[in-house]
Amino acid sequence: MTDEHDEHGIERNRINGSYDLKLEDFACALCKKILWKPVVCKNCSTPFCSACIADRSDEQSKQCVNGCEEFVESKCPRFILQQLGRLNIACANHQYGCTEIIAYEALEAHETECGYQQQSCRGCEKVLPKKDLVDHENKCDLFDLTCSECNMNFKRRDTDLLHTEFKCLKEQFRQLRNQFETNKNATSQQIQHLSSIHQQLREEYEAYKQLAEEQVKQIIIKNYEFQEKFEPNNKPTNERINQIEQSVQSCKQGSDGKIQDLIETLE
């Protein structure tokens, strides 16, 4: 779509053919041209181009040109859209050679792709039809080129001067050297980082090792103190246990003898 439609409605002299319509009834109340993408004021049903409404300032957007208390944007009635749909319109690029006459609903799609819309060369900035742009830029001396091998940028006219085969190889070597230095610095930083982590882990290991050795030492001392505390009581206790066991054994032997004598007597 051309800027003409983005900013305003459609010029009446672009309407092709005769219609039993009063074109002034389908004109924007702001730009006075044929409505393009219309909306209406909800209070008075006055139609406007949506772009014309969008262009108004914040203060103006609160007012309606017909004096309504407040402007409230609303969808355009179907009747207006149907009548606009009857129109056949010359392409906005007719002055540049396009002879197409397009239905209202298809106008935007055509003008977006129209080969006669004006575009600027990215090199010399010359304005020419879109359909001729590719061929022009393929020959334009001021067009920027980029070497696929060395990524050097230069104007087409400077190809032989700035981008010879030797300079291309030299540039590739320079880029490789820069990349090597970048990778070298990155690797060096990674090594330093890993070395720092290794040193930190080693210090933590030594601290844990020292703590573990201290804990083992404390356990050994506690065990020795425990043995020292209870060892004197072990000997008399063991002797008393032996005496009791001997007494029990004697009693058992005596009982066994008496029982045997009683059995023999009964027999």
Residues 115 and 123 sit within 8 Å (Cβ to Cβ)? no
* Euclidean distance between CA atoms 240 and 237, whole angstroms: 5
pLDDT surpassing 80 at residue 170: no
pLDDT surpassing 80 at residue 246: no
For 59, list phi and psi in degrees, rounded to 5. -70, -45
The count of other CB atoms within 10 Å of the CB of residue 208 is 10
Q: Which of 78-82, 85-89, 120-124, 192-196 has the lowest mean pLDDT?
A: 192-196
Amino acid at 122: R
Nearest to 258 by CA among 22, 250, 157, 94: 250
Top mean-pLDDT range of 120-129, 159-168, 175-184, 213-222: 120-129
How many residues comprise the chain? Answer: 267
* Euclidean distance between CA atoms 263 and 40, whole angstroms: 133
In tens, the pLDDT along 52-71 reads 998 886 667 778 888 888 88
Task: Please give the pLDDT value at position 3.
Answer: 44
Q: Which residues pair with 129 in a beta bridge?
A: 118
Placement of tokens 């459609």 in the chain: 10
Nearest to 121 by CA among 139, 146, 105: 139
In tens, the pLDDT along 102-128 reads 999 999 999 999 999 999 999 999 999
* Euclidean distance between CA atoms 188 and 190, whole angstroms: 5
Residues 28 and 47 sit within 8 Å (Cβ to Cβ)? yes
Q: How many helices (H) and strands (E) does the chain have?
A: 7, 10
Task: Please give the pLDDT value at position 5.
Answer: 47
Task: Please give the pLDDT value at position 257.
Answer: 60
Q: What is the largest CA-CA distance in the chain?
A: 156
Mean pLDDT calculated for residue range 22-47: 93
* Euclidean distance between CA atoms 80 and 147, whole angstroms: 56
| Domains within the chain, CATH numbers bracketed | 3-115 (3.30.40.10)
* Euclidean distance between CA atoms 56 and 258, whole angstroms: 132
* Euclidean distance between CA atoms 140 and 234, whole angstroms: 111
- With bands split at pLDDT 50, 70 and 90, how would you rate the model's confidence at 140? very high
Classify burial at 101, counting beta carbons within 10 Å of its beta carbon; exposed 0-12, middle 13-18, buried 19 or more.
middle
pLDDT surpassing 80 at residue 33: yes
pLDDT surpassing 50 at residue 256: yes
In tens, the pLDDT along 141-165 reads 999 988 887 877 888 888 777 777 6
CA angle 125, 94, 28 (to 5 degrees): 100
Average pLDDT for the chain: 83
